[in-house]
Amino acid sequence: MEFKKTALITGASRGIGAAIAKRLAKDGFNVLINCSSEKSLNEYGKVLQKICEEEGVRAEVFACDVSKYEECEEMFRFTKEKFGRVDCLINNAGITKDTLLARMEPEDFEAVSNVNFKGVFNTTKLASAIMARQKSGRIVNISSVVGLKGNVGQFNYCATKAGVIGMTKAAAKELGRRNVLVNAVAPGFITTEMTEKIDEGFKEKVKESIVLKRFGKAEEVAGVVSFLCSEDASYITGQIFVVDGLLLI
């Protein structure tokens, strides 16, 4: 039987996460599709599972709130049972609760931090233990360009995405001796359901601030993740790959 590597993608039901799952399945990876809830799993995850399986790989779906360590433990146990190993972890799960700092409630900061920041700790800790024993692995964290530049009305989101960059660099230094490579991708404005909700006037203003004069595609982010999970990236770790069409603001 041909050996296939396994990739676990968090927040994979829609948007960038779904695009990454499809691309890695096309690359020949078995995939574990993480959804945040049973509702999301039934509504989106099972459809994505079938799409990935059409590439000739095995795909499984698992509902898990990445902010809860015990649920993450169960997800990794499930993945090991189904596939025997974890070769790539893609930390994509994330939420927003945007508002100006003066109006931001403590629970708004805590909710975003729990998923976007603590969730990365939970999954990275569990994946790194498996990968260290395998003496191989790739971890790709999906940060954001606002983690580098900041953004009005996103104090909580910017803080978590900047924190993910710090965790990426620290983990790369800790895990490199075990041949576990850790990198981050920082997308700019990417066309997803989230950006579709933004006011059209504001979107046009943002596009004028992008050198390429358009929003990116989820598939373009997935392409960078694909590269970082490939053998072509075997000497790259601790790096942040910005995918923003050169956003000047």
Reference 159, options 241, 83, 87, 96; nearest CA is 96
Q: Which pair of structure tokens corresponds to residue 65?
A: 């709130």
CA distance 50 to 63: 16
Which active-site residues does the annotation give?
157
* Alpha-carbon separation of residue 213 from 150, 187, 192, 209, 241 (angstroms): 20, 15, 17, 7, 20
Pairing, β 59-63 against β 6-9: unpaired
One-letter amino acid for residue 20 of the chain: I
Q: How far is CA 244 from the centre of its chain?
A: 16
**3-state DSSP call for residue 113?**
helix
Count Cβ neighbours within 10 Å for each residue of 98-107 and write b for 16 or more, e otherwise.
eeeeeebeee
Instruction: Give 35: exposed, middle or buried? Use CB within 10 Å, 0-12, 13-18, 19+.
Output: buried
